[in-house]
Amino acid sequence: MHPLPGYWSCYRLLLLFSLGVQGSLGAPSAAPEQVHLSYPGEPGSMTVTWTTWVPTRSEVQFGLQPSGPLPLRAQGTFVPFVDGGILRRKLYIHRVTLRKLLPGVQYVYRCGSAQGWSRRFRFRALKNGAHWSPRLAVFGDLGADNPKALPRLRRDTQQGMYDAVLHVGDFAYNLDQDNARVGDRFMRLIEPVAASLPYMTCPGNHEERYNFSNYKARFSMPGDNEGLWYSWDLGPAHIISFSTEVYFFLHYGRHLVQRQFRWLESDLQKANKNRAARPWIITMGHRPMYCSNADLDDCTRHESKVRKGLQGKLYGLEDLFYKYGVDLQLWAHEHSYERLWPIYNYQVFNGSREMPYTNPRGPVHIITGSAGCEERLTPFAVFPRPWSAVRVKEYGYTRLHMLNGTHIHIQQVSDDQDGKIVDDVWVVRPLFGRRMYL
Ligand SMILES: *[C@@H]1O[C@H](CO)[C@@H](O)[C@H](O)[C@H]1NC(C)=O
Ligand SMILES: *[C@@H]1O[C@H](CO)[C@@H](O)[C@H](O)[C@H]1NC(C)=O
Ligand SMILES: *[C@@H]1O[C@H](CO)[C@@H](O)[C@H](O)[C@H]1NC(C)=O
Ligand SMILES: [Fe+2]
């Protein structure tokens, strides 16, 4: 069958038309959009990332006064990003890092160039050192459609409730969808949150297209590894972000499994040397090792790949994280909330029966993937497993408050129940002797 020539020329015309017009009308825009922040890992700094549709200079103007001139300036660079879809849409991604920020101080900024400026946003510079009490919002699996948690997150953020967000993989559904237009829409949608505090990420399965190219291009995480794996310090915690996806999309490179594993081990060794200063080690990765959902995901299998590695033996992460005394593991992927009793190798290691999370003898796992997306919620298997402590099949997200080096407070907020706290737990570990579980 040969398509009609008329059809083809019409199609080509359409193609050309949509290639040329990026905004709703007229010429491609030099105005910044999709503004968001991240912490590059060096004290007193913050990175601003945004998109334009034509190449322009990359500048941030900032200051301390909410109105009036913005006296401080920082320059950065942009890189063109070409999406892998048929239209090969081209975005210009700008990155500017602000430095020597005063800890805990609120700044006002705008980004862009003489060809167009963003509106003004505000953020608070992260405090330095270990002796303060960071508050995080944690969730995964937030889509451009049905983003249930977003209105409350926006309000919480505007009220200054959080110091940072951890988005544990799966964005937009998907960043690459519809020639990456869904990605653009998602990044605009989260702007009121992400332009106001560091929005820290790890890749999920929904970022897989074109070797995670949209994920790598759109976010700016610490280190030089395109945000696939990295770590950073925040108050009393060392936070490690990694890719569970290297275990599943092997055609992008089997070597990535090994490379990441080696990096994780050396990072954990360093973190343990520094454990007296930063007692908490927290990991975030998209697909959990354990879950009790009623699907056929990796975490429902006894020998899940993330837990036990490739072929049930190569580069499994449970042994590694247990060996180095990791305190808390944050996951998503399942569109629900689940908290486990402290666990290692299917055995529950409560601190005590009365206070399971005080001096737990194994890592604590939280699965928080119910922020809302077009795939809706994931049901649970009828009978909870003996290692499952709490299961909530409602939209929501997690609040994590690190009070100090010994106390972390975790709460689950339900958006189905208008912000009601549906889980509330303290994890308490001693200040010393945390480098391994005994
Ligand atoms: C995919 O990306 C990773 C990291 O950027 C790179 O090391 C790998 O070679 C890429 N794989 C392919 C098949 O291009
Ligand atoms: C752990 O603690 C919880 C809460 O007290 C309890 O229900 C559960 O049975 C305990 N598990 C073990 C193995 O002790
Ligand atoms: C940490 O905070 C908790 C709760 O406020 C408090 O009981 C505890 O003594 C603090 N620990 C340290 C080491 O300051
Ligand atoms: Fe997922």
Tens-digit pLDDT profile for residues 276-302: 999 999 999 999 999 999 999 999 999
Digit-coded pLDDT (tens) for 128-151: 999 999 999 999 999 999 999 999
Burial 216-246 (b: 16+ CB within 10 A, else e): bbbbbbbeeebbbbbbbbbbbbbbbbbbbbb
Confidence band for 28, pLDDT divided at 50, 70 and 90: confident
Averaged confidence pLDDT in the chain: 94
For residue 256, the model assigns a pLDDT of 98
pLDDT at residue 2 is higher than 80: no
What confidence tens digit (pLDDT) does each residue in 414-424 have?
999 999 999 99
Cα 107–Cα 109–Cα 111 angle in degrees, nearest 5: 155
Mean pLDDT over 246-252 rounds to 98
Q: Is the pLDDT of residue 27 over 80?
A: no
pLDDT digits (tens, 9 = 90+) for 186-211: 999 999 999 999 999 999 999 999 99
- Distance, in Å, from the CA atom of 105 to the CA atom of 124, rounded to the nearest integer, reads 5
Cα separation, 29 vs 207, in Å, equals 26
Mean pLDDT of 252-267: 98
At 7 the pLDDT is 39
For ligand 3, which residues put their CB under 6 angstroms from it?
403-407, 431
Residue with tokens 């009070």: 403
Half-sphere exposure of residue 298: CA atoms within 13 angstroms, side-chain side: 22
Q: How confident is the model at residue 21 (pLDDT cuts 50, 70, 90)?
A: very low
* Mean pLDDT, residues 386-391 taken together: 98
Least confident segment among 4-18, 19-33, 105-119, 369-383 = 4-18
Mutate to test the pocket of ligand 3, among 406, 408, 409, 432 (most ligand atoms within 8 A of CB): 406
pLDDT for the residue numbered 26: 64
Tokens representing 40? 């590059």
Atom of ligand 2 nearest to the CA of 350: 1
Q: What is the CA radius of gyration of the chain?
A: 22
With bands split at pLDDT 50, 70 and 90, how would you rate the model's confidence at 11? very low
Indicate the pTM of the whole model.
Answer: 0.94
101 CA distance to ligand 4 middle (Å): 35
> In the structure, what pLDDT confidence band is assigned to residue 310 with cuts at 50, 70 and 90?
very high
The percent of residues above 90 in pLDDT, for the chain, comes to 92
* Ligand 1 close to Cβ of residue 253 (< 6 A): yes
Q: What pLDDT, on a 0 to 100 scale, did the predictor assign at position 321?
A: 98
pLDDT for position 87: 98
Judging by beta carbons within 10 Å of its beta carbon (0-12, 13-18, 19+), is residue 75 exposed, middle or buried?
A: exposed
Q: What is the pLDDT of residue 66?
A: 87
Q: How far apart are CA 161 and CA 177, in angstroms?
A: 32
Which atom of ligand 3 is found nearest the CA of 404? 1
The per-residue pLDDT for 4 is 38
Q: Is the Cβ atom of 416 under 6 angstroms away from ligand 1?
A: no
The CB of 132 under 6 Å from ligand 1? The reply is no
Atom 3 in ligand 3: which residue has the minimum CA distance? 407
Exposure string over 118-128, b if 16+ CB within 10 A, otherwise e: bebbebbbbbe
Is residue 241 a contact partner of residue 169, using CB atoms and an 8 Å limit?
Answer: no
Q: How confident is the model at residue 19 (pLDDT cuts 50, 70, 90)?
A: very low
Domains annotated for the chain, with CATH where assigned, are: 33-124 (2.60.40.380), 130-428 (3.60.21.10)
pLDDT surpassing 80 at residue 240: yes
- Distant-in-sequence, close-in-space partners of 107: CB < 8 Å, separation ≥ 6: 62, 63, 64, 98, 101, 122, 123, 124, 125
Query: What is the DSSP-derived secondary structure letter of residue 303?
Result: T
